[in-house]
Amino acid sequence: MTGENFQPVLRPAGENSILVVFGTTITPAVKEKVNGFVTALHALEIKSILEIVPSYCSVMIYFKMRTTSYAQIKTAVETALTEMVPIAQQTYQVLEVPTCYDGVLAPDMEAVLRLTKLSKQELIALHTAKPFMVYMIGFTPGFPYMGGLPFHLPRQASPRPLVPSGSVGLAGSQTGIYSTNTPGEWWLIGRTPVAIFDANRQNPFLLSPGDYVLFTPIDLEEYFELKNLIAQGFYKPRIWQEKVHS
């Protein structure tokens, strides 16, 4: 079912948690419902709720078992569902992410081209044509999950032991940027020298849910030139605000 027709579903997710599902597809309309529900639930100011964790199509709620029950939280959730209004962004932040799609920086490019039956030029054009929405941050600190690819790729059968920070990957209908050196099973089609997560920065994170990423293609020479500028502290990420067009 689509996000517009899908009725929210409540599911127990453990002794002290409840999951609210708003859809089965990754779309801005479903994300608007998630945003509206989270706002409505926060407005109830329920002290026994420990944490509210939104994702693509659902919200996980953790609560204190000693001070409340599942039935009480379920009632609060149902109240929030009744009072919620889908919230669409009026403006959004866009981060430009220069990305090299060549050579050793794109180790899975040929495999992805075979799976999608696209040429390299077509794949890069699709990946750089418009900004991708950041639906959630997770997996590692700062890793952005972005939806909106016009094709679907299965994850790799076995994860790589180490994926370098800055690697740009594809999985399902999603694209993402590895924020740290970590094992991973996404298809790697490029790499950016821009650190989207840096624990030494005043604000370690360049992205938050609701932001957008615009990938821009650079060649190998530009990649290493930019990496050198970043290492010397001479590069400032290009970030701007845009209005949402109806």
Tokens of 203: 């604000």
Let me know: does 6 contact 45? Beta carbons within 8 Å. no
The mean pLDDT value for 17-23 works out to 91
- Angstrom CA distances, 219 to 98, 104, 106, 193, 216, stand at 10, 12, 12, 12, 10
pLDDT digits (tens, 9 = 90+) for 42-84: 999 999 999 998 887 889 999 998 888 899 999 999 999 998 8
- Angstrom CA distances, 83 to 53, 78, 79, 110, 154, stand at 19, 9, 6, 49, 38
pLDDT digits (tens, 9 = 90+) for 113-131: 999 999 999 999 999 999 9
What is residue 42's three-state secondary structure? Answer: helix
Examine the pLDDT at 197 and tell me if it is beyond 90.
yes
What's the pLDDT at 1?
42
Q: Specify the pTM.
A: 0.77
What's the pLDDT at 29?
83
| Structural domain spans, the chain | 9-83, 91-243
CA–CA gap between residue 38 and residue 84 (Å, rounded) = 8
What is residue 31's three-state secondary structure? Answer: helix
CA–CA gap between residue 206 and residue 235 (Å, rounded) = 14
Is it true that domain 9-83 has CATH number 3.40.50.720? no
Residue 204 amino acid letter: P
pLDDT class of 4 with cuts at 50, 70, 90 = low
Number of H helices and E strands in the chain, helices first, is: 5, 14
Q: Is the dihedral of CA 163, 166, 170, 173 positive or negative?
A: positive
Let me know: does 73 contact 13? Beta carbons within 8 Å. no
pLDDT class of 244 with cuts at 50, 70, 90 = low
What's the pLDDT at 55?
80
- DSSP structural state of residue 194: S
Tokens of 161: 């032991």
CATH topology of domain 91-243: Cyclophilin (2.40.100)
Candidate ranges 18-27, 86-95, 159-168; pick with highest mean pLDDT: 159-168
Q: Which residues is 62 bridged to in the sheet? A: 17, 51
Quote the Cα angle for 41-43-49, to 5°: 50
Let me know: does 84 contact 22? Beta carbons within 8 Å. no
pLDDT class of 227 with cuts at 50, 70, 90 = very high
